[in-house]
Amino acid sequence: MRKTISIVAPFDPITKSELDALRSFLTDQHYDFVFVYPSEEGILPIEVRKELLKRVLKPYRKMGVNAPSGEVTSLTSVDEEALVHKGEFYRIAPGIHRFILEKGYYLPQVVEANCSTHRATHSKSVAALCVELAKYHHVNPEKAYIAGMLHDITKNKEDAYHQRILEKEKPEKLQLNHKVWHSYTARYWLKENMGLCDEEILKAIDTHTIGDAKSKLGQILYIADKCEPTRGYDAKKELSLAKKDLQAAALLVLTEAKAYILEKEGMHV
């Protein structure tokens, strides 16, 4: 009779350290088979977390996903899962990192952890509008959602943070107003912490402040950032045009933005 054990934890998502802990039950503690199962509490639905577990455990013949039975223990060291929710995606177990990114899992939690409440609300609204506009122009809605959610991820950082990155990576951007620096530093934060390397998304985020986007995704993000509902002004004209002609709508929004800045701050951009 083989010796088995069932391990229960949120697995929201399973991390590298948790996977190591599961593997140790097959070596240090000499179990013949380890069953794992997500507990009820969690951000993602339990069925989604089960699917993520199956993907991670696929290479391991002596581990599988099953309802807990027999000897059951809890894996209580879930601190790394909380860090994933803050954007440290490099802690995610191998086999699901790309899938989680592509599906946009945990992005609301990442934004809430790194942005002010106001900025998080804005980002969620931008993401929703990006998805809506993407459908009119055959742009990948998942990429549109990711770009919208994460475009302001470094907005709350101190100027010193942006200066440190830009001095090394893009010193020419330091000549621009400090209010737009976050659009250029976001790509480095996203690459380092979340492993986001999709150049189409990163370029769209690069160009979301000063309106120099050339791609459809970039134009969608620029328009959505300026016209999302929580900003509180009537953007029906701009959005109606955006559904028909992205380039014309982006130019209209840019023209209006320049006029607004000139009136408010007495300066040209």
SS3 73: strand
**pLDDT value for 64:** 95
pLDDT of residue 139 exceeding 90, the answer is yes
- Residue 206 above 80 pLDDT? yes
Q: Does the pLDDT at position 269 exceed 60?
A: no
DSSP 8-state symbol, 93 = P
pLDDT of residue 28: 75
For residue 79, how many other CB atoms are within 10 A of its CB? Answer: 10
Average pLDDT estimate for 222-246: 94
Q: What is the pLDDT of residue 176?
A: 93
Average pLDDT score over the chain:
93
Closest by Cα among 56, 141, 52 to 104: 141
What's the length of the chain? 269
List domains and CATH numbers for the chain. 4-56+69-99 (no CATH), 116-265 (1.10.3210.10)
Whole-number pLDDT of residue 91? 96
Provide the 8-state DSSP code for 35: E
How much is the pLDDT for 165?
Answer: 96
pLDDT digits (tens, 9 = 90+) for 18-57: 999 999 998 877 899 999 999 998 999 999 999 999 999 9
CB–CB of 171/145 below 8 Å?
no
User: Global pTM?
Assistant: 0.92
**9 with 18: CB under 8 angstroms?**
yes
CA dihedral 214→219→221→227, nearest 10 degrees, is 150
User: Are 152 and 180 spatial neighbours (Cβ–Cβ below 8 Å)?
Assistant: no
Place 75 in a pLDDT band, splitting at 50, 70 and 90: confident
Q: Which residue has the higher pLDDT, 90 or 265?
A: 90
Closest CA to 133 of 260, 255, 259, 235: 235
Read off the pLDDT of each residue in 142-167 and give the average, rounded to a whole number: 97
Does the pLDDT value for residue 90 go beyond 50? yes
Looking at per-residue pLDDT, the higher value among 104 and 30 belongs to 104
Binned at pLDDT 50, 70 and 90, residue 100 comes out as very high
Mean pLDDT within 170-178: 94
Quickly state the pLDDT bin for 266 (edges 50, 70, 90).
Answer: very low
Return the closest-CA partner of residue 48 out of 113, 103, 7. Answer: 103
Confidence of residue 147 (pLDDT cuts 50, 70, 90): very high
Cα→Cα distances 161→94, 164, 193, Å: 30, 5, 15
Using a pLDDT cut of 70, give the percent of the chain over it: 95
| Strand ranges of the sheet holding 33-38, from the earlier edge strand across to the other edge | 63-65, 33-38, 4-9, 72-74
pLDDT, residue 144, reads: 98
Least confident among 65-69, 131-135, 229-233, 264-268: 264-268
* Rounded percentage of the chain residues whose pLDDT exceeds 90: 84
